[in-house]
Chains A and B, each alone.
Chain A
Amino acid sequence: AQSVSQHNHHVILSEAASLELGCNYSYGGTVNLFWYVQYPGQHLQLLLKYFSGDPLVKGIKGFEAEFIKSKFSFNLRKPSVQWSDTAEYFCAVNARYNFNKFYFGSGTKLNVKP
């Protein structure tokens, strides 16, 4: 069965610290990979996505993620976090040739202390 694992459930950082959130998936077919963010009181929004090509993808607000196929991972990074990055982050895997199904991880809550 397909699954998405986010090992960090709650991360607390100070402003300007570097961030890396882990995401691993299990799926045998071709996948597209996404990170979604949910700011307090808002709906889920797309942060960045990987379809093909350069495995290092850049998204909004200075976030980036690296797809490592051999490790089935798609970790999210940001060199220097801001207080406004406080949110919950969800990794998602899309089964490209399986009716566009999406599977989400359990999420990581990020608290950035000012």
Chain B
Amino acid sequence: EAGVAQSPRYKIIEKRQSVAFWCNPISGHATLYWYQQILGQGPKLLIQFQNNGVVDDSQLPKDRFSAERLKGVDSTLKIQPAKLEDSAVYLCASSLGGPGNTIYFGEGSWLTVV
């Protein structure tokens, strides 16, 4: 079974530039999550989709971050303009969506803002 795919794996940008990350979840998984993991910290949920609807985006800095999940499958997370403190690993994860289902993570997209 294919896992959660993410791209790009690594990205270095200057502050105030924009960046976009792409995620393809496991086939059939209704729930898709974007987490931000800053070095030395645990994953922090940015946004959670159920199919193509947003379940929770309370911790998404909406002045600079946006995410969409068209057709309930792939998702894109965008940052514009980037700040130095956005340097982190952006993790995409997916689950079947039922209560208590395990979530599966992609390898992450490492962002460095200089």
User: Which A residues fall within an 8 A CB radius of B?
Assistant: 4, 6, 32, 34, 36, 42-46, 49, 51, 90, 94, 96-97, 99-107
Contact = CB atoms under 8 A, between A and B. Distances in A.
B48 interface: yes
A103 B35 CA distance: 10
Interface residues of B, number: 28
Interface of B: 31, 33, 35, 40-45, 48, 50, 55-56, 91, 93, 95, 97-108
Given A90-B42, A103-B45, A106-B41, A44 B105 contact: yes
A94 B100 contact: yes
A104 B31 contact: no
A60 to B, nearest CB: 13
Given A6-B42, A99-B55, 8 more contacts: A36-B105, A44-B43, A44-B91, A45-B105, A99-B48, A99-B56, A101-B48, A102-B33
A102 B103 contact: yes
Nearest to A46: B102
Contacts of A49: 102
Given A43-B106, A43-B108, A102 B45 contact: yes
B42 A104 contact: yes
30 contacts: A36-B105, A43-B91, A43-B105, A43-B106, A44-B93, A44-B105, A46-B102, A49-B102, A51-B100, A90-B42, A96-B100, A99-B48, A99-B55, A99-B56, A100-B95, A100-B97, A100-B98, A100-B99, A100-B100, A101-B56, A102-B33, A102-B103, A104-B35, A104-B44, A105-B42, A106-B40, A106-B41, A106-B42, A107-B40, A107-B42
Contacts of B104: 46
B100 A32 contact: yes
